[in-house]
Amino acid sequence: MVQYSYFPGCNLKTNAKGFEETAIAVSKKLEAELVEMPSWNCCGTVHTLTSDNIMKRIAPIRVLSRSRKHVETLKESPNQVVTLCSMCNSTLKIVNNEVKKDQEILDKINYQLEEDEETYETDMEVKHFLEILRDIVGYEKISEKVVNPLEGLKISPYYGCMLLHPEEAKIDDEEMPDVLESLVESLGAELVMSPLFKFCCGSYHIVDQEDIVSSQVEKIVEAAKRRGANALVVACPLCAYNIDQQQKAMARNSVGKSPIPVFYFTQLMAIAMGEPVKINYFNDHFINPEPLLKELGLIGRKKAK
């Protein structure tokens, strides 16, 4: 059993609890256990694109430094910090890359970290859980653990921006990714390809320019539905929130539009691997996926027996 130092990030403790709990459950089953690092802080969610703002780079480095200490306490752990949220993944990777190339920035940040008796020596790698699943665990092993193939689910992968951009942080080819596709197929679900797989959902504009998000979400969902999808799979809590919540709002405004549920990839894995339904926290979803899963006989069968 390999253990990984796992950095949750802010949202996995609030409205994406289902993402975290299912991920931890399946990680144990796949013998690549995610162990939460102690005393973590927010990574900042978005990487600063400025060249001169060092302050905004301190938080991610602090995470890396603390994760480095955490690795020491784990079993067979490589020097890697694993994230589930794609925004954390991108922020941590970009800053890690920057300080590896620029000693001057690293020195300035370490000077700040000294106050807390911390230091970072650029000896960590940032990995997204999808990378661990693809490169270390392998899809074959995932298929072996499937006890409840997701037959009937027609899933369209939605990557969002931060899994594939920028060059330093991408987990797969930016124009033709296949990591979510292969995962969906290894779980026994039908794959539906949508051309809008990385069409930005509007991200943080949800706070002050909701109209932008709603127009983006409408296009993303329509493109997937037109090709026959009955669910979307995502890896980002903000994409999930935007697509889920906006669909609900749109369904309220115009009659006849049928919303489709949004899953985190780990939720699909948990269902396929026969984990208890309650760790999915489907109550937190705006579009509850349970009716669809029940209709397809993917959950609730055991009780009937």
Q: State yes or no: residue 129 binds other proteins (CB under 8 A).
A: no
CB of 290 to other proteins, least distance (A): 21
Mark 151-190 with x for binding to other proteins (rule: CB under 8 A) and - for no binding: ----------x--xxxx------x----------------
CA distance 245 to 218: 11
41, HSE (Cβ side, Cα atoms, 13 Å): 12
Q: Nearest-CA neighbor of 260 among 235, 286, 299, 230?
A: 230
Sorted by sequence, the CB contacts under 8 Å of residue 161 that are 6+ apart come out as 198, 200, 203
Q: State yes or no: residue 269 binds other proteins (CB under 8 A).
A: no
Handedness of CA 129, 138, 267, 212 (dihedral sign): positive
Q: State yes or no: residue 117 binds other proteins (CB under 8 A).
A: no
With CB under 8 A as the contact rule, which of the stretches 119-127, 137-145, 207-215, 267-275 interacts with other proteins?
207-215
CA distance 58 to 38: 18
Mark 4-33 with x for binding to other proteins (rule: CB under 8 A) and - for no binding: -----xxx--xxx-----------------
CB of 200 to other proteins, least distance (A): 4
Q: State yes or no: residue 145 binds other proteins (CB under 8 A).
A: no
What angle do helix axes 265-272 and 179-186 make, rounded to 10 degrees? 20
Q: State yes or no: residue 111 binds other proteins (CB under 8 A).
A: no
Mark 233-262 with x for binding to other proteins (rule: CB under 8 A) and - for no binding: ----xx--x---------------------
- Helix/strand number for the chain, H first, E second: 12, 8
CA distance 197 to 160: 7
Judged by the rule CB under 8 A, the positions of this chain that interact with other proteins are 9-11, 14-16, 42, 44-46, 48-53, 56, 85, 87, 161, 164-167, 174, 198-200, 202-209, 212, 215-216, 237-238, 241
